Amino acid sequence: MADLAERPLHHLPAHEVVLLLESDPDKGLTSEEAGRRLERFGPNVLPKFRRHGPLVRFLLQFHHPLIYVLLAAAAITAVLGEWVDAGVIFGVVLVNAMVGFIQESRAEKALDALVSMMKTEATVRRDGRRTKIPSAQIVPGDVVLLESGDKVPADLRLVAVRELRIDESALTGESVPVEKADLVLAPETVVADRRNMAFSGTLVAYGQGRGVAVGTGAATELGRIHQLIGETTEIATPLTKKLAYFSKVLTAAILGLAAVTFLLGLWRGQNPAEIFMAAVALAVGAIPEGLPAAVTITLAIGVSRMAQRHAVIRKLPAVETLGSTTVICSDKTGTLTKNEMTVQAILAGDRTFDIEGAGYEPAGEIREVGRQSSTVNREEVARQAVTVGSHVPLDTALCELLTAGALCNDAQLVEQEGRWTIVGDPTEGALLVAAKKAGIDPGQAGERFPRIDAIPFESERQYMATLHRGDSGREAVIYLKGAVEKTLRLCDRMLTAEGSEGALDAPSVLGQTDAYAGRGLRVLAFARKSAPADRATLSDRDVEEGLTFLGLQAMMDPPRPEAIAAVRACRTAGIAVKMITGDHALTARAVAAQVGLDGRKRPENGELVAMTGQELAATPPEALADAADNTAVFARVSPEQKLRLVEALQARAHVVAMTGDGVNDAPALKQADIGVAMGLGGTEVAKEAADMVLTDDNFASIEAAVEEGRCVFDNLTKFIVWTLPTNMGEGLVLLTAIAAGSVLPILPVQILWINMTTAVALGLMLAFEPKEPGIMRRPPRDPGQPILTGVLVERIVLVALLMLAGAYGVFLWEQQRALSIEAARTAAVNVFVMVELFYLFNCRSLDHSMFHVGVFSNPWIWRGVAAMVGLQLLLTYVPVMNRLFHTVPIDGTAWLLIVTISVLVYLIVGFEKRLRRWWLQAPPERPTVAQP
């Protein structure tokens, strides 16, 4: 294969490029050749790029104001000759940096795993066949097929295009899609103007195309840019940013306070070394240094839990927003329903038929409605099918209708070990099954009337059409299928049951459509038109008028049972669910009723009101918010209207999650607070625009993600409520001692010990807390509400005061027992740790006791508790630790006191929660029960 690096490929005709690449524009590469090239060129992925290597990332751990303070303190302590203290402080800083580094790497890994879950696929021609392969396996020379919604998987020289328009904003910043063409361009043409090329990472906005891969992986334009700017995995959300800011301000304030304390002490003539140590202790104790790391870890754990439940987060802030979601706007097909279609009823000519059978197995009778014993004779239909499209008058429309369904179709029906499945769109798969039930073989029909060209289905167009060569040189025939209203507009006559063409009876067709849709069936209309035998292409203009209506096929798509449960769960969680679908209003309404949606109802019969796209368009802007807020079902909605709906709901201060799969859903997905794309059925464009991608396209996964989102927020709050009292308590103890001019009850190195060990062994375990029972029985969190409500602030202050009283009290009491000052300090340190340990159990639920969430529901808590107890015993009884941390062994009496205080704190907080629950539940004025 020639070296392409220096060749201006856009300047060569397409066939020369193909030649250079030793490929075949029609057949593509062979699998063996592709395998060889994969070895030679490597996978089609961008090289992993980290802005910082591990060493720099480790060093960055020291880049915090508090660490500077600690390092300065260590240096000054060393100058003062306190080598052990200096060493301990330095050691703690080092350990802290290591823990931070590991945690950060873990969080990043969890997020990286998401990236690898989001592997994209591409359609290529290999061995003469159209196949889907992971984009990573594309090699130079591969013939890649593009269609609207795809992400271009490699740099391609286009060999054929059909109204192909590509959004290259990711590469060039140009937001208007570029119209592509198979041209030969001047050598100096810049990348943005190379209209005969498609570039990796750009998105197909419209049309179709075929191109040969000329560059993969790092050898693409995207790869070049990627190397220039690198890639950042930022672990930040509005909340983490807010907390980081809070931490910064707090740090500055506490450093100020420490400085003032130091100066005040000097002014009062205290020993400079001692008062310096006191100021350092204050700074170390009062700054919640574990907070940012805990937040990151909690978010990362939430993200991987969501991924396990089929919701892959693409943008981290979504984790937070999910917990506040108030409205979920969902597609119908495949999300609320199973997307397993079965044709159940047919209108052909003026006759209606029922079809038996479920699933994709082509077994079941077709029975004419109203006639007792009139099943369709398969042999008869098969015989007639031979004449399809040949303009020999057919004596039945049914056969032509089913053949139209089989030919105007991109799906395939496959049997594997007796199991029938379909490849492609289930709507189309159902049509193949229906045809086969009547004895029409889609494969044979396709061979007899080969497809020459097609207009693919798109939601906006609402139809698909195909052009087929006629039998033995006869006229060609166009088949069209689509939404009923749309199709009828294109027809001016209809095929009668006997096969002659008669006047179109639109009202009766629409009546039958309503009858089917009212049963929740999805209705498709079919039509045909003949075309000159030499017609080679098909465009929208060819089917604008003059079609002959063939009939209707109505299919059942059962609701997903888990979606029904999820809708119910959303309802108790105060989240409104709305269905926004391209389907018929009556079908939508029937399905909505089946899955249990709740919204505006008709007063006369209590049925859900379904608003159509047309009605939406006619609704004045000022009335839209009201309509959007109160209506549960929106049918025949265009993607632009989805955007309007999101905006209208947001105007009502709703936090909106919106699903989408098509190219044109992208603006709505971006506008929504949480854009949700379908991982299986969605286009790459939609995924790119979304905040979250569902790997199973299931509504229940959105509800699961909301649940996890709420849990993340809960766990973050729990950590904050757990950690702040310690900082405050330590600060208060030190300030009290300084004010009283007494010796410090806890030393800086001891404070360092408390803060570092408890944060990792105890606090972090809260990130693993499972969801609280009833998490989906409370209303969504108001995003404007601060993390710490008044109640929580009060609790933090209460526990801080209890810590102050406990630690200071024990410190004084131990001294009174005429024990050493070291023993008194050791006891005080143990009070802090043990109170934190027992208070951790309180923090497992913000409103209830630990028994409400299950004593053993979070095994990590118990592991952490065991580790912490072990660490405290080491600190208290191991001689080395005694030397390093100025501790001494303490006696049983001291322990008894420490544990009693800790249990008391646990009970007091438990009582406080109970009191508040009682207060909240108590009606404002208790009704007095009349005594007889």
- Active-site residue numbers? 331
Q: Say which amino acid occupies 226.
A: H
For ligand ATP, the closer of residues 699 and 906 by Cβ is 699
Q: Is 695 in the site for ligand ATP (CB under 6 A)?
A: no
For ligand ATP, the closer of residues 431 and 704 by Cβ is 431
Asked if 655 and 574 touch (Cβ cutoff 8 Å), the reply is no
For ligand ATP, the closer of residues 281 and 524 by Cβ is 524
Stretch that binds ligand ATP, among 456-464, 528-536, 769-777, 922-930 (CB under 6 A): 456-464
Query: What are residue 511's phi and psi, to 5 degrees?
Result: -60, -45
Burial 727-760 (b: 16+ CB within 10 A, else e): bbbbbbbbbebbeeeeebbbbbbbbbbbbbbbbb
Taking CB under 6 A as the criterion, the residue among 10, 125, 332, 560 binding ligand ATP is: 332
Taking CB under 6 A as the criterion, the residue among 483, 624, 804, 901 binding ligand ATP is: 483
What is the four-CA torsion angle of 646, 648, 654, 655, rounded to 10 degrees?
20
CB of 494 to ligand ATP, least distance (A): 18
Taking CB under 6 A as the criterion, the residue among 18, 145, 454, 464 binding ligand ATP is: 464
Stretch that binds ligand ATP, among 188-196, 252-260, 325-333, 693-701 (CB under 6 A): 325-333
Task: Provide CB contacts within 8 A for 50, sequence distance 6+.
Answer: 230, 231
CB of 602 to ligand ATP, least distance (A): 22
Q: Is 333 in the site for ligand ATP (CB under 6 A)?
A: yes
CB of 665 to ligand ATP, least distance (A): 9
38 HSE (CA, 13 A, CB side): 17
- What is the x/- site pattern for ligand ATP, positions 791-830, by CB under 6 A? ----------------------------------------
CB of 584 to ligand ATP, least distance (A): 6
CA distance 63 to 104: 14
CB of 484 to ligand ATP, least distance (A): 7
CB of 578 to ligand ATP, least distance (A): 11
Asked if 325 and 780 touch (Cβ cutoff 8 Å), the reply is yes
Strand pairing class (203-215; 311-313): unpaired
Q: Is 331 in the site for ligand ATP (CB under 6 A)?
A: yes
CB of 360 to ligand ATP, least distance (A): 16
N-to-C CA span, the chain:
102
Q: Is 457 in the site for ligand ATP (CB under 6 A)?
A: yes
CA distance 511 to 69: 80
CB of 583 to ligand ATP, least distance (A): 3
Degrees, nearest 5: CA angle 347-348-349: 120
Q: Say which amino acid occupies 164.
A: L
Q: Is 586 in the site for ligand ATP (CB under 6 A)?
A: no
Residue whose structure tokens are 């570029």: 178
Asked if 196 and 14 touch (Cβ cutoff 8 Å), the reply is yes
Q: At what angle do helices 790-816 and 821-842 cross, to 10 degrees?
A: 150
Asked if 77 and 89 touch (Cβ cutoff 8 Å), the reply is yes
For ligand ATP, the closer of residues 324 and 513 by Cβ is 513
CB of 645 to ligand ATP, least distance (A): 13
Stretch that binds ligand ATP, among 398-406, 459-467, 607-615, 831-839 (CB under 6 A): 459-467
Asked if 810 and 831 touch (Cβ cutoff 8 Å), the reply is yes
CA distance 443 to 448: 9
Task: Provide CB contacts within 8 A for 269, sequence distance 6+.
Answer: none
Binders in 218-277 for ligand ATP, by CB under 6 A: none
Binders in 193-222 for ligand ATP, by CB under 6 A: none
For ligand ATP, the closer of residues 37 and 338 by Cβ is 338
Q: Is 714 in the site for ligand ATP (CB under 6 A)?
A: no
Stretch that binds ligand ATP, among 93-101, 291-299, 576-584, 756-764 (CB under 6 A): 576-584
For ligand ATP, the closer of residues 226 and 589 by Cβ is 589
Stretch that binds ligand ATP, among 167-175, 462-470, 640-648, 649-657 (CB under 6 A): 462-470
What letter does residue 619 receive in the DSSP assignment? S
CA distance 754 to 761: 10
Taking CB under 6 A as the criterion, the residue among 582, 613, 675, 763 binding ligand ATP is: 582
CA distance 65 to 56: 18
Stretch that binds ligand ATP, among 2-10, 233-241, 315-323, 478-486 (CB under 6 A): 478-486
Binders in 517-556 for ligand ATP, by CB under 6 A: 522, 524
CA distances from 242 to 118, 709, 716, 846 (A): 29, 18, 13, 21
Taking CB under 6 A as the criterion, the residue among 217, 439, 482, 780 binding ligand ATP is: 482
Total of chain residues touching ligand ATP, rule CB under 6 A = 20
Q: Is 462 in the site for ligand ATP (CB under 6 A)?
A: yes
Query: What are residue 147's phi and psi, to 5 degrees?
Result: -145, 170
Q: Is 581 in the site for ligand ATP (CB under 6 A)?
A: yes
CB of 459 to ligand ATP, least distance (A): 3
For ligand ATP, the closer of residues 486 and 852 by Cβ is 486
Binders in 388-427 for ligand ATP, by CB under 6 A: 425, 427
Taking CB under 6 A as the criterion, the residue among 195, 468, 481, 644 binding ligand ATP is: 481
What's the token pair of residue 495?
């095929």
CB of 412 to ligand ATP, least distance (A): 14
CB of 692 to ligand ATP, least distance (A): 17
What is the four-CA torsion angle of 179, 182, 186, 190, rounded to 10 degrees?
40
CA distances from 399 to 278, 342, 394, 396 (A): 93, 18, 8, 6
For ligand ATP, the closer of residues 409 and 715 by Cβ is 409
Stretch that binds ligand ATP, among 19-27, 442-450, 543-551, 582-590 (CB under 6 A): 582-590
Taking CB under 6 A as the criterion, the residue among 206, 353, 463, 753 binding ligand ATP is: 463
Measured over the CA atoms of residue 524, residue 527, residue 531 and residue 533, the dihedral's sign is positive
Taking CB under 6 A as the criterion, the residue among 428, 684, 769, 836 binding ligand ATP is: 428
Stretch that binds ligand ATP, among 243-251, 331-339, 803-811, 819-827 (CB under 6 A): 331-339
CA distance 734 to 281: 8
What letter does residue 329 receive in the DSSP assignment? E
Residue of minimal Cβ distance to ligand ATP: 582
CB of 439 to ligand ATP, least distance (A): 23
Q: Is 479 in the site for ligand ATP (CB under 6 A)?
A: no
CA distance 216 to 33: 16
Asked if 840 and 722 touch (Cβ cutoff 8 Å), the reply is yes
For ligand ATP, the closer of residues 463 and 811 by Cβ is 463
Task: Provide CB contacts within 8 A for 289, sequence distance 6+.
Answer: 64, 66, 96, 755, 759
H or E stretch covering 207? strand 203-215
Q: Which of 70, 106, 68, 102 is nearest to 88 (CA)?
A: 70
CA distance 628 to 419: 43
CA distance 795 to 260: 28
Burial class (CB in 10 A: 0-12, 13-18, 19+), 56: exposed
Stretch that binds ligand ATP, among 158-166, 382-390, 578-586, 799-807 (CB under 6 A): 578-586
Site residues for ligand ATP per CB under 6 A:
331-333, 425, 427-428, 457, 459, 462-464, 481-483, 522, 524, 581-584
